[in-house]
């Protein structure tokens, strides 16, 4: 760490951020993880700060020049996300594709933020090279492609967007309820092959039918509203007691739901408890002539049991969007090599098979771009970890423009005994206006807002915290 006292303030340049200590004294940092005098860039307050009155306007915390923040976006991240990051003044490099590991190792060295989708593998080997990286944005739902544990242990937060596509899934399910009730898939396939087969037997309106929703979370509850608008009666089963929307009713057991519903649809997470949650016993409990829809996770349904119950004629239709094994890319992969029963499933009547497209809409991609890039901006500028997948979720209310000499201290540390005592010995001589801390596994995240702090104090605080053996990363924002 090079420390350079300048007349205008302190300049602390971390050797890891690629800066030369020869550069002239300036008043701004080139790294969001180092401490520098106040940025004049306060004018570009973040989007969520708009609307505050002048008196209580939230104070942007950016002791760095926003144009020095380097961001690498891979895999054609949605334009909405690029625009938000560019509007901050950050340097944003955009690539349409992913990068192979060797190339990634080179490109990641000098960036502070990386944005990826599902194809880029951020392994421990890649992250080891990422000396300046403070945060990763996964512009997608899953984070399996990132070594999130390694990232957390090195103070790198990871954000994703788990719920931006809930509406898209709910709409697909409504479409499937109607398509199954009217055997649309079969009629369409027949006509594609030249066969005119006009039938009404076994085809139904959905008005007045009962939809049974298993899992009344983001998707299940959206679906509930849409289904009622279509004239359906809605019952739901959830492990948590939840406020029903509209006239939907929560039922006490899964068995009750299965016995009542004409259409059963699954919207639970993948957990040991939800593995094969709908199997032979549950199919026995379902109504004769009912339908099953699964757009949650492939492991939730016992598919060989589904094949048997459809062949028996008890279930008269099903729609599956997710499977225990799914291919990594598009192509002719949906065969018995992928899932042993694939050919049997494909041979069934009135079954809609879709390739995990529940959340795949332009709107969802756009919403993901906004959600993830806003989380990145909040983390870089304010240190807020709400929504992070690998760090404790910590936030403090914003500092206001009236609180001039306040700083925000962020101390990411190993979760070991005695750290708080040592940190508070360092902070203790100052007026700590507010402080919060939380831990997740081996990593703890402390955030404190301190008042009446001058430039030399900032330097001391930073250095003292950096000197603790528990330190993973220190940031001081003001």
Ligand X SMILES: NC(=O)c1ccc[n+]([C@@H]2O[C@H](COP(=O)([O-])OP(=O)(O)OC[C@H]3O[C@@H](n4cnc5c(N)ncnc54)[C@H](O)[C@@H]3O)[C@@H](O)[C@H]2O)c1
What are the residue numbers of the active site?
Answer: 297, 326, 356
Closest alpha carbon to 138 in 85, 75, 80, 79:
75
- Does position 36 interact with ligand X (CB under 6 A)? The reply is no
Which residues make Cβ contacts (< 8 Å) with residue 428, sequence separation at least 6? Answer: none
Site for ligand X in 209-268 (CB under 6 A): 214-220, 237-240, 267-268
Q: Which residue has the closest beta carbon to ligand X? A: 217
State phi, psi for 21 to the nearest 5 degrees. -75, -5
Residue 241, CA distances (Å) to 212, 238, 334 in order: 16, 7, 38
Q: Read off the DSSP letter of residue 49.
A: G
- Does position 165 interact with ligand X (CB under 6 A)? The reply is yes
Site for ligand X in 280-309 (CB under 6 A): 295-297
Site for ligand X in 130-149 (CB under 6 A): 141
Would you say 9 or 387 has its CB closer to ligand X? Answer: 387
Work out the angle at residue 354's Cα, subtended by the Cα atoms of residues 350 and 356, and round it to the nearest 5 degrees: 145
| Residue 455: how many other CB atoms lie within 10 Å | 18
Query: What six digits make up the tokens of 37?
Result: 């005098």
The Cα–Cα gap between 242 and 50 comes to: 33
Query: What six digits make up the tokens of 405?
Result: 């000499």
- Does position 387 interact with ligand X (CB under 6 A)? The reply is no
- Does position 374 interact with ligand X (CB under 6 A)? The reply is no
Residue 132, CA distances (Å) to 88, 317, 456 in order: 19, 53, 25
Closest alpha carbon to 445 in 135, 237, 95, 232:
135
The Cα–Cα gap between 349 and 181 comes to: 13
- Which of 32, 37, 115, 359: binder of ligand X (CB under 6 A)? 359
- Which of 35, 166, 250, 282: binder of ligand X (CB under 6 A)? 166
Would you say 18 or 259 has its CB closer to ligand X? Answer: 259
Closest alpha carbon to 419 in 389, 439, 401:
439
Would you say 142 or 208 has its CB closer to ligand X? Answer: 142
Q: Which residues is 451 bridged to in the sheet?
A: 431
- Does position 275 interact with ligand X (CB under 6 A)? The reply is no
Sign of the dihedral defined by the CA atoms of residues 57, 62, 67, 72, in that order:
negative
Helix, strand or coil, per DSSP, at residue 40: helix
Would you say 240 or 243 has its CB closer to ligand X? Answer: 240
The distance of closest approach from Cβ of residue 296 to ligand X in the complex, given in angstroms and rounded to an integer, is 4
- Does position 362 interact with ligand X (CB under 6 A)? The reply is no
- Does position 176 interact with ligand X (CB under 6 A)? The reply is no
The distance of closest approach from Cβ of residue 58 to ligand X in the complex, given in angstroms and rounded to an integer, is 29
The distance of closest approach from Cβ of residue 319 to ligand X in the complex, given in angstroms and rounded to an integer, is 11
Would you say 359 or 392 has its CB closer to ligand X? Answer: 359
Distance from chain centroid for Cα 174: 25
The distance of closest approach from Cβ of residue 249 to ligand X in the complex, given in angstroms and rounded to an integer, is 15
The distance of closest approach from Cβ of residue 432 to ligand X in the complex, given in angstroms and rounded to an integer, is 36
Site string for ligand X, 316-345 (x = CB under 6 A): -----xx-----------------------
Site size toward ligand X (CB under 6 A) is 31
- Does position 161 interact with ligand X (CB under 6 A)? The reply is no
Give the binding site for ligand X (CB under 6 A).
141, 163, 165-166, 169, 214-220, 237-240, 267-271, 273-274, 295-297, 321-322, 356, 358-359
């Amino acid at each position: 760490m090079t420390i350079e006292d300048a007349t205008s303030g302190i300049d602390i340049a971390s050797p890891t951020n690629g800066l030369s200590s020869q550069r002239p004294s300036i008043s701004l940092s080139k790294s969001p993880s180092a401490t520098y005098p106040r940025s004049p860039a306060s004018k570009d307050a973040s989007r969520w700060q708009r609307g505050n009155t002048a008196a209580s306007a939230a104070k942007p915390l950016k002791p760095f020049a926003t144009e020095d923040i380097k961001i690498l976006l891979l895999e054609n991240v949605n334009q909405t996300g690029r625009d938000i990051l560019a509007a901050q003044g950050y340097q944003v490099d955009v690539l349409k594709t992913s990068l192979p590991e060797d190339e990634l190792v080179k490109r990641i060295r000098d960036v502070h933020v990386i944005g990826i989708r599902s194809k880029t593998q951020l392994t421990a080997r890649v992250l080891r090279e990422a000396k300046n990286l403070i945060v990763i944005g996964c512009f997608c739902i899953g984070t399996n492609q990132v070594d999130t544990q390694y990232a957390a242990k090195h103070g790198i937060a990871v954000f994703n967007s788990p719920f931006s596509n809930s509406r898209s899934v709910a709409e697909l399910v409504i479409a499937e309820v109607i398509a199954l009730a009217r055997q649309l898939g079969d009629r369409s396939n027949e006509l594609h092959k030249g066969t005119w087969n006009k039938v009404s037997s076994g085809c139904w309106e959905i008005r007045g039918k009962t939809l049974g929703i298993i899992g009344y979370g983001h998707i299940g509850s959206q679906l509930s509203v849409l289904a009622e608008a279509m004239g359906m009666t809605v019952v739901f089963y959830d492990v948590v007691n939840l406020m029903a929307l509209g006239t939907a009713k929560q039922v006490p057991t899964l068995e009750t739901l299965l016995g009542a519903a004409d259409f059963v649809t699954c919207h639970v997470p993948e957990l040991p408890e939800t593995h094969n949650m709908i199997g032979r016993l549950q199919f026995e409990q379902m109504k004769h002539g009912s339908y099953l829809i699964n757009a949650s996770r492939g492991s939730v349904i016992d598919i060989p049991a589904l094949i048997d119950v459809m062949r028996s004629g008890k279930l008269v239709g099903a729609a599956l969007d997710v499977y225990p094994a799914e291919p990594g890319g598009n192509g002719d992969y949906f065969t018995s090599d992928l899932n042993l029963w694939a050919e049997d499933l494909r041979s069934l009547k009135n079954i809609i098979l879709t390739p995990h497209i529940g959340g795949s809409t332009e709107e969802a991609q756009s919403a993901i771009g906004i959600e993830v890039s806003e989380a990145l901006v909040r983390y870089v500028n304010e240190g807020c970890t709400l929504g992070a997948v690998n760090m404790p979720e910590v936030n403090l209310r914003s500092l206001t423009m009236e609180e001039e000499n306040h700083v925000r201290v962020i101390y990411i540390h190993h979760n070991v005994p005695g750290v708080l005592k040592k940190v508070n010995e360092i902070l203790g001589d100052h007026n700590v206006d507010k402080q919060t801390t939380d831990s997740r596994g081996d990593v703890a995240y402390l955030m404190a807002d301190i008042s009446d702090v001058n430039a030399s104090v900032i330097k001391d605080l930073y250095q003292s915290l950096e000197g603790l053996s528990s330190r993973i990363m220190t940031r001081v924002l003001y």
